[in-house]
Amino acid sequence: MKKIVYLLLISLVIVSFGFEKSTDFAPKKINVVIDLGHGGTDFGATIKNIHEKNIVEQIAKKIKSTNKDVQLYFTRTEDQFVSLQDRVNFINELKPDLVLSIHVNANRDNQKSGAEFFIATQNDFSKKSTEIANELSTKLSENNFIKINTLKTAPFFILKNTKAPALLLELGYLTNENDFKYLTDGDSQDKIANSISEYLSKLQ
Ligand SMILES: [Zn+2]
């Protein structure tokens, strides 16, 4: 009987040590903010009754459901209006490791197509942002239906006021027939979300 109690005690110690190991020594996850462009009364680009705000929500949800490796935060979780200042306040309080602002584009010229990355040179982290933009665009180009345009700089409010590496990603043009198809197609959205998610996981 004594032996059984002794064995039980040993196993308890092993179990509790195991738990301690998984909590205290687990690597700290990096914090990533996904900024969902537009929302609520701000529809963003709208073509054939398809709104930019909804497309970015669909893709953000897919990233959330596939990624457990990084700590994800979102500037909005539903179809609601959030001012640019409130977004920046939320981000700067959180001090994340990366901010990824997701949008889709529109243009009068329906031949314009492809994804575009933007960074702001006014941001102190612009060098890191450029590095991440280049890596993520390489990752996204593996989805061979996405054309990646050259990296651009722009003083967008979110980018220049965020105190963290930050990039804005226009995933394609709703005004271009081919881009419209992949931006609104569930399987293509999955591929885009998976690429972004896989890239974020490697940032650990
Ligand atoms: Zn937008």
d(CA 41, CA 27): 40
* Interval between CA 128 and ligand 1 midpoint (Å): 23
Q: Facing residues of 167 across strands?
A: 100
Residue 36: predicted pLDDT: 98
Query: For the residues 26-42, what does the mean pLDDT come to?
Result: 93
* Interval between CA 37 and ligand 1 midpoint (Å): 5
State the residue for tokens 């092993």: 14
Q: Facing residues of 50 across strands?
A: 47
d(CA 135, CA 148): 12
* Interval between CA 144 and ligand 1 midpoint (Å): 23
At 141 the three-state DSSP class reads coil
- pLDDT, one tens digit per residue, over 62-103 is 999 999 999 999 999 999 999 999 999 999 999 999 999 999
76 contacts: CB under 8 Å, gap ≥ 6:
36, 39, 82
* Interval between CA 126 and ligand 1 midpoint (Å): 21
* Interval between CA 6 and ligand 1 midpoint (Å): 64
Q: Which fold has domain 28-202?
A: Aminopeptidase (3.40.630)
The domain spans of the chain are 28-202
Reply yes or no on whether the pLDDT at 20 is more than 70.
no
* Interval between CA 170 and ligand 1 midpoint (Å): 7
Residue 28: predicted pLDDT: 83
At 124 the three-state DSSP class reads coil
- pLDDT, one tens digit per residue, over 110-164 is 999 999 999 999 999 999 999 999 999 999 999 989 999 999 999 999 999 999 9
Q: Facing residues of 42 across strands?
A: 39
Higher pLDDT, 60 or 6: 60
* Interval between CA 199 and ligand 1 midpoint (Å): 22
Bridge-based pairing of strands 166-173 and 116-119 is: antiparallel
Query: For the residues 171-188, what does the mean pLDDT come to?
Result: 97
* Interval between CA 158 and ligand 1 midpoint (Å): 12
* Interval between CA 180 and ligand 1 midpoint (Å): 15
